[in-house]
Amino acid sequence: MVAVLLSGAVAQAATNVVGVGDGGYSETGSWADAGAVAFDVVPGPSTVAPLPFLETFEVADGVATGPINGQNGWISVGGSADVQSGIVQTNSQALQMQNTQVSHDLSSEGSSMWLHFQARCTGIPDSTPTIPANTTLSFFVNTNLNLVVYSNTIPVELSVQVPTNAWIRFDIYCDYDDLYWDLSMDGTNVAAGLPLYSTNSQLASMAIGSGSSSPVYVDQIDVADTEQTASGLPDSDNDEIPDWWEQKYFGGVTNVVAGDPSGNDGLSYLETYITGISPTMFDPFVV
């Protein structure tokens, strides 16, 4: 199972951080037969990395095959978490996890967060993860292989299924100012404008975990607090304006016609996005 959580509370233990995997994340930091990705505002035990944070698990970025523990600031606990070259999404290496948790501290003061990562699950989950009380957002794959997202603290099962033994790209946009998040799978938005699980306002750590003997693979983790366009962003209507921007300003990922005049006199919606100025009011663009 894959699940995602963004979390944070001053009292939260350092183990309650980010995870992607085949194991359910619990408030005590253990993993059942489910999976989770979690973000926590509490510093954990590993080296703090400022955003943007990119982990490719490649030799060129300082990672060798074998245990990930101690490499590039990663800390692993229990089971096995190994960089291997047999099953990869990009280039020549990726992380394989079984009955383990890995974590990495992150540093950010931004009010928005973009995350994308590649995951490959090899088994069908048989339980659901326990969600920590300080979670910011969460999603997981249930026993029917359907995505389940949290709207506030309420789990909502989607009709979207996740295949096994296939690489899937997940994209998350989290807005800490307006307290909502969006989720896309392989470039297609599957949930948008979901209220956050709690009112946490900052990202500080990441963990990835698997609580199953069926391997889960992870590759190309990219976390940023400014928009990163090089790897592409979900754009459901293919109008060159990403979903997160349309959702943030107009309440839906397809709610804007790119060439229409915006509320900023003389500019189209696409032009206001490109120049980074308000699409709803006069906001002059200064060269």
* Cβ proximity of 49 and 104 under 8 Å: yes
Residue 233 CA to residue 241 CA, distance in Å, equals: 9
Q: What's the pLDDT at 9?
A: 30
Check: CATH 3.30.1280.10 for 3-224? no
Residue 74 CA to residue 209 CA, distance in Å, equals: 12
Tell me which of 49-63, 195-209, 237-251 is least confident.
195-209
Q: Where are the alpha helices (DSSP H) in the chain?
A: 243-250, 269-275
* Cβ proximity of 56 and 91 under 8 Å: yes
How close are the terminal C-alpha atoms of the chain, in Å? Answer: 48
Query: Could you state, in order of their start, the residue ranges of all structural domains in the chain?
Result: 3-224, 228-287
Over residues 237-270, the pLDDT tens digits come to 999 999 999 999 999 999 999 999 998 888 999 9
Is pLDDT at 27 greater than 70 in this prediction?
no
Instruction: Give the pLDDT mean for 86-92.
Output: 97
Token output for 152: 């506030």
Q: pTM here?
A: 0.82
* Cβ proximity of 33 and 91 under 8 Å: no
Is pLDDT at 150 greater than 60 in this prediction?
yes
Count Cα atoms within 13 angstroms, Cβ side, for 165.
1
